Amino acid sequence: MNTKKLSLYATALLSTALVLGACTDKEIVKNAPTNEEIQSEFGFRSFDLDIDTVKKRDAIEASFDLDMSETEAEYKNKLNNIKLSGDKAYSELQPIFKELGLTTDMSREEVIEKVSKAFGAEDYAEFDLEIEFTDGSEQEFSDMK
């Protein structure tokens, strides 16, 4: 009977450890600037980009999300063999985001042109971008060639 309880306890402990281990998010940026710094630097809180080219589906995927408790970043660029998450993704995306200078009053064409050029995918087949700006407004930009 004790062996049965011990076996059950060990199974429960192992299951708990596996669940907790799975909750660790590798996309979290540990060394991100403050909420205010990021918002004034980039002009947005959330950026979710997906670009397909004629030769590659999901050729470029970039995501950045700033919320009250944490910042997450992920960057995949199949054209340049890049697959980064967390601090490494943020380090790669930060200069791109700073250079973009996106604002809520930009035209759809201007946003698509600036972003596709910044990520080296001007010859995209499909372009999808969702942004949440610092004023809380959300905008989506899509295009197919």
Task: Tell me, yes or no, whether 24 lies in a domain.
Answer: no
Domain enclosing residue 40, as ranges: 35-144
Q: Per the domain annotation, does 72 fall within a domain?
A: yes
Residues 96 and 10: their CA atoms lie apart, in Å, by 49
Evaluate whether 90 touches 29 at the Cβ level (below 8 Å): yes
CB 65 within 8 A of CB 46: yes
Residue 140 located in a structural domain: yes
pLDDT-derived band at 31, boundaries 50, 70, 90:
confident
What is d(CA 123, CA 134) in angstroms, rounded to the nearest whole number? Answer: 29
For the segment 89-103, what is each residue's pLDDT rounded down to a tens digit?
999 999 999 999 999
What's the structural domain count of the chain? 1
Residue 58 within any structural domain of the chain: yes
Examine residue 66 and state whether it is found in any structural domain, yes or no.
yes
pLDDT reported for residue 25: 65
Per-residue pLDDT for 45 more than 80? yes
Q: For residue 18, is it within any domain?
A: no
Quick check: is 11 in a domain? no
Q: Report the pLDDT averaged over residues 58-83.
A: 92
Paired with 46 in beta bridges are 65, 132
pLDDT digits 0-9 by tens, 75-92: 999 999 999 999 999 999
Which positions ≥6 away from 55 have C-beta within 8 Å? Answer: none
Q: Is residue 7 part of a domain?
A: no
